[in-house]
Chains A and B, each alone.
Chain A
């Protein structure tokens, strides 16, 4: 079956530091890959996505590249802000399956200190 593994947190950084959250996946077929962010007290929001190999998703200074050869979709941001403190979830979508199910990684809590 499908699975997503991401680095455990919490990750604590200083403002303007570089952030990387590793994510690897196992899937049959050709999934789409996503990063979701959950701010304190809120629901999940789509941060970025990539639907095929070598695609790069980007949003709000975050980037992730769909690497089929390493089955990875690592999230990066060059200079984090306090407002980036949140829980980040890597996920894959079973393309073509009824209902387009998402499989989530365990989530990585990021805390950015001023």
Chain B
């Protein structure tokens, strides 16, 4: 079974500081994609960042970057210079070659002014 584990149900960060959200996944596939989605209080799901498993280079999107460790099956999200608008639930997700999609249980991020 494919699983995605987010071991931190809640995290907090001081505004302008850096925070890292953890994610591990379990798969026997070699070709797959990983994502981080953000869900603010509006409930809208928003893509934060995407990583192809065959690429060794870690993806970055402005203040958001990932640390992708394929052998360890780890995919953490780093948010730099945290802003109040970053407060949200963050979901790690994984896709299979058969186009199924698996989410983790989420990490609720609080940004402290």
Indicate whether A and B interact.
Answer: no
The residues of B with any CB-CB pair to A shorter than 8 Å are: none
